[in-house]
């Protein structure tokens, strides 16, 4: 019962469903949120990642690498962004950086201590550093990036104990969809050349 409170009761928007989820878990049934051993520990991770995938699709439609990101505080989307490097001729126009800037501006503070950043691709070194510098509480990403990932693949910047802040990490949320979106984009790009 206590575990169900931690898993679902943390979010007031889902509190009404808490009793049903608790009962379902005790009976071994799969509820709307699934079992406590689901790969996504928070009920809204897949929901928010789907929104990030929608933003990534928008980036792809504009000729950008399909990466979408959003900043969530208390289950509310504070900022959304997608890659804009080509559109803005901006070498730091990554979805994560843009979303962090928008969130800081909206909240009127640079410390995003209660925020979760959702992004479709594991952040690069620049974006991982931005997460640490912004004091983001939690990062949820979709696909791993074996060539430039700085969260778990190549480096572990966001959890490095030598830095003044560490970010909680949840990787692999809707990873299959995020990976396919990227593969499809680059497959199409190669076929056009």
Active site residues: 96
**What count of other Cβ atoms lies within 10 Å of the Cβ of residue 89?**
8
Classify strands 138-143 and 168-170 as parallel, antiparallel or unpaired.
parallel
Strand order across the beta sheet in which 138-143 lies = 76-82, 68-73, 115-121, 138-143, 168-170
152-157 long-range contacts (CB < 8 A, ≥24 apart) are 152/122, 153/122, 155/125, 155/128, 157/125, 157/128, 157/129, 157/132
Report the half-sphere exposure of 10 (CA within 13 A, side-chain side).
12
Which DSSP string corresponds to 17-68? HHHHHHHHHHHT---TT--TT-S-SSTTHHHHHHHHHHHHHHHHHTTS---E
Q: Six-digit token pair at 97?
A: 């950086």
Which tokens hold the place of 147? 């060539």
């Amino acid at each position: 019962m206590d575990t169900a409170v931690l898993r679902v009761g943390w979010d007031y928007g889902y509190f009404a469903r808490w009793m049903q989820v608790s009962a379902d878990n005790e009976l071994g049934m799969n509820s709307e949120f699934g079992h406590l051993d689901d790969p996504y520990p928070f009920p809204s991770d897949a929901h928010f990642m789907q929104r990030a995938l929608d933003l990534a699709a928008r980036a792809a439609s504009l000729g950008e690498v399909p990466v979408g990101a959003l900043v969530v505080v208390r289950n509310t989307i504070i900022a959304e962004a997608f890659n804009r490097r080509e559109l803005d001729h901006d070498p730091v126009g990554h979805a994560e950086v843009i979303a962090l800037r928008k969130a800081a501006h909206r909240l009127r503070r640079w410390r995003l201590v209660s925020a979760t950043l959702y992004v479709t691709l594991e952040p690069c070194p620049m974006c991982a550093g931005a997460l640490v510098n912004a004091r983001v509480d939690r990062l949820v990403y979709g696909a791993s990036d074996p060539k430039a990932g700085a969260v778990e693949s190549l480096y572990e910047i966001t959890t490095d104990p030598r830095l003044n802040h560490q970010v909680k990490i949840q990787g692999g949320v809707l990873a299959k969809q995020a990976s396919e979106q990227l593969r499809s984009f680059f497959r199409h790009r190669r076929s056009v050349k």
